[in-house]
Chain A
Amino acid sequence: MDVELSEEQKLLRDNVRRFAEEVVRPRAKEIDESGEFPRAFFNQAGELGLAGVAVPEQYGGAGMDVVSYCLVIEEISRVCASSGVILSVNNSLVCDPLLKFGSEEQKQELLAPLAAGRKLGCFALTEPGAGSDPAALRTTARRDGDHYVLNGSKVFITNGTDADLALVFASVDLGKKHRGITAFVVSADSPGYARGGHEFKLGVNASGTTELVFTDLRVPAQQRLGEEGEGFKIAMATLDGGRIGIAAQAVGIAQGAFEEALAYSQQRQQFGQPLASFQAIQFYLADMATEIDAARLLTWKAAWAKENRKRYTLEASQAKLFASEMAQRVTNHALQIHGGYGYTKEYNVERYFRDARITEIYEGTSEIQKMVISDWVLNQD
């Protein structure tokens, strides 16, 4: 057992932190307020290898390990959670399934531009009536010669406003329930592909969340990912990996908020002494630091398991559940330590507090994680 990062991982973390501080932080507040999708950031991140961290070099990626991927998402999210999830979706929910389930031809064609940040991907699974229960999706794909014709709509699609391609899940036979679900790589410039505008949300406001509508959208059959009926399996496997990214995002948000609170508690004077000299504040800080460390370890453990081709469904769900709920508590305490100032836009903690909330919801709510974990624990022998 060893929980020290390798020299390479430390170097990566330091480099990403510098990029985050110099490039991402200056715009974080602004894009949170305007909702502008930070396309330039994504392109720059891509040039640095951060859009396809774990994609092998032969497909144009950075060829790094899954723990390194967690470091990237944590460091970016530490300064801007919107930017963190943009990268997480492109890495975990688009590159990863293409790598795992794509044909050699698909990998050669699709991965390099995604990994280099020239193209942005999104993951289109959720529908108005199919959230935690994705098998209930209604989007259809009808075979027509060497094409499929897609009809339906998707909601809450991160990166949706700007994505150049979408990984779309649709049913080739609604009667088959989840066994009819099939995955397609769809180009956003296809006729019949429509996207909604920016949607204002409580947090991660610059992540390009929107609706996608497909109307007689024709997709060439060679852009089907995997076989017909394999889509549900692909979606579930992809979300297992995605949860590691969201856990890392939650750790980053919490770390950012913690650092703000630690600094503020040492500057702010009340009753003639810094807040940090009061035991109540010290105890908050101690609990925050301890929980952040625990969440980071669980995240790394899931990443380590994935990297080493062990089963990691349980570990990913535990990391996601623990880290997201931890981030909620930690950002709440960080805001509390800032008092009234924490409730204003003058300080960053209100943004961290809002941004943390979604980590308990997307890529499987806390309740879905508990279903996964309890199934696992109750049926382990």
Chain B
Amino acid sequence: MAVAPAVASAERSGIDFSLSPDQELLREQVRRFAEERIRPGTAERDRERRFPHEVVGEMGELGLLGMLVDEQHGGAGADVLTYAIAVEELARVCPATAVTMSVSNSVCCWPIARFGSAALRARVLPELAAGALGAFGLTEPGAGSDPASLRTTARREGDEWVLDGEKTWITNAGLARWYVVVARTDPAAGKRGISAFVVPGDAPGFAVGEPEHKLGLRASRTAPIYFTGCRVPADHLLGSEGEGLRIAMATLDHSRVGIAAQAVGIHQRALELAVGYARDRVQFGVPIARHQAVAFRIAEIATDLAAARALTYRAAVAAGGGEAEGDGEGADDGEGAGAAGAGTRGAGAAARDAGRLAAQAKLYASEAANRACQASLQLHGGNGFHDDYEISRLYRDVRVTTIYEGTSEMQRLVVARHLLRG
């Protein structure tokens, strides 16, 4: 048995953990922008629950709000890993600003680019790519982890769709120019009676409620939105009638990479803060970094970060390599993967696996980032509990990463479904 195939050494390793020069450059640029333009007002905006209009405007000018839009429509045409790196670097400085950017890219631009008609794409994407914000309306008061139970309706009237209902927890609500909204078009068809629409922020019958007060991400805007006989043109339907849930699930499969990247950025900062504090803070006559309990905790945070980042980057590469087709918690069709890991995956399986890999990345990275912030705050002692220390804000901000765009529990269901389908 020939176990050692004869190949030139340059071709031997398919595995490559390095980033491309473009990706390295983008990381540097976004880091510099975040440090210089975002960091100075971060604590104050958090305290005042103030949205960073100016910063977001600059992000639009830099092309950060249309990273996944192709160049033909005025976007950056970036690959998903490059996008994830940008989210990570923004989250390292301000998780609230990162989610504003991530939502616009992942759950508004992406489904429109992927499922919109040519005319709709031409009308909407250039605006989004130029810096207009986007939003995504799926969750309702009674439909959180179970989006198929949503009650917002859309009925066809002539050349228009008429929407009625309400959506909650809408990031960028009231600030967005465009909303991707999921509504029921056929009450008798269950999961297949749901459709997705693109709604402009100035549509008649569309209204935005009061911003929510949240534990964290206070400089991001979250509010309910209401549809009262809200009319949109017929060609604002994404995909076909009845495809809405599949589109929503595919969108979440994709966007989870962005949330995983947000968690990685927060985790990275929690580590930096722990290292800095442990080196400076002296107790018992030595920097606390010299106490083994502290040093070992830092080793654990760093190792968990390496694991979370590896899963996230792998999911990003897979998300770029193939389209996740709504094979998520709400849909019951599509192809599954084999047992865990590369051990049983065949060629091209990475593309089919994209949804599972995103769920794994989001699950692991968000849980790990929560552990990291908890540990980093503990290393700061009483100071970590004080608003003057950055870790106290990160500790609040990180909490939502195990909840939004699918709770950890929903990620586990998605992963288990793939595993058990064999």
Contacts and interface: CB of A to CB of B under 8 A. Distances in A.
A120 interface: no
B7 A8 contact: yes
Contacts of A74: 343
Contact of B363 (A276, A286, A322, A373): A286
B4 interface: yes
Nearest to A56: B9
B170 to A, nearest CB: 28
A343 to B, nearest CB: 24
Contacts of B317: 1-3
B343 A371 contact: no
A50 interface: yes
Interface residues of B, number: 61
Contacts of A371: 292, 295-296, 299
A287 B298 contact: no
A296 interface: yes
Contact of A8 (B12, B271, B304): B12
Contact of A5 (B3, B14, B298, B411): B14
B314 interface: yes
Question: Which of B16, B292, B299 neighbours the largest number of chain A CB atoms within 10 Å of its CB?
Answer: B299
Interface stretch (B122-130, B143-151, B244-252, B414-422): B414-422
Contacts of B14: 2, 4-7, 9
Interface in B296-323: 296, 298-300, 302-304, 306-308, 310-311, 313-314, 317
A239 interface: no
B215 interface: no
A371 B298 CA distance: 10
B12 A6 contact: yes
B3 A62 contact: yes
B81 interface: yes
Contacts of A369: 299
Nearest to B343: A255
A373 B303 contact: yes
Nearest to A4: B14
Closest 4 CB pairs of A and B: A6-B14, A289-B340, A282-B416, A286-B415
A3 B412 contact: no
A276 B339 CA distance: 14
Contacts of A377: 271, 275, 298-299, 302
A212 B104 CA distance: 65
Contacts of B292: 371
Interface in B8-49: 9, 11-20, 23
Contacts of A322: 303-304, 306-307
A125 B294 CA distance: 30
Interface in A349-374: 367, 369-371, 373-374
B16 A1 contact: yes
22 contacts: A3-B342, A5-B14, A5-B342, A9-B15, A19-B3, A48-B1, A62-B3, A262-B420, A282-B417, A286-B413, A286-B414, A289-B360, A292-B340, A294-B307, A301-B310, A304-B16, A304-B17, A315-B306, A318-B303, A374-B299, A375-B295, A378-B278
Given A49-B3, A298-B307, A318-B302, A6 B413 contact: no
Contacts of B342: 3, 5, 293, 296
Interface stretch (A63-71, A172-180, A227-235): A63-71
Contact of B340 (A3, A50, A255): A255
B335 interface: no
A370 B15 contact: no
Interface in B387-412: 409, 411-412
B305 to A, nearest CB: 9
B350 interface: yes
Contact of B296 (A279, A296, A305, A374): A374
Contact of B415 (A65, A289, A367): A289
A218 to B, nearest CB: 38
Given A62-B3, A63-B4, A290 B413 contact: no
Nearest to B363: A290
Contacts of A289: 339-341, 360, 415, 419
Nearest to B416: A282
Nearest to B19: A1
B343 A266 contact: no
Contacts of A1: 16-20, 23, 81, 313, 317
Interface stretch (A10-18, A146-154, A197-205): A10-18
A301 B363 contact: no
A377 B295 CA distance: 9
A315 B342 CA distance: 20
B4 A64 contact: yes
Contacts of B19: 1
A68 B419 CA distance: 25
A318 B306 CA distance: 8
Given A318-B302, A369-B299, A3 B339 contact: no
Contact of B364 (A50, A262, A294): A294
A65 B298 contact: no
Contact of A293 (B16, B20, B360): B360
A300 interface: yes
A73 to B, nearest CB: 13
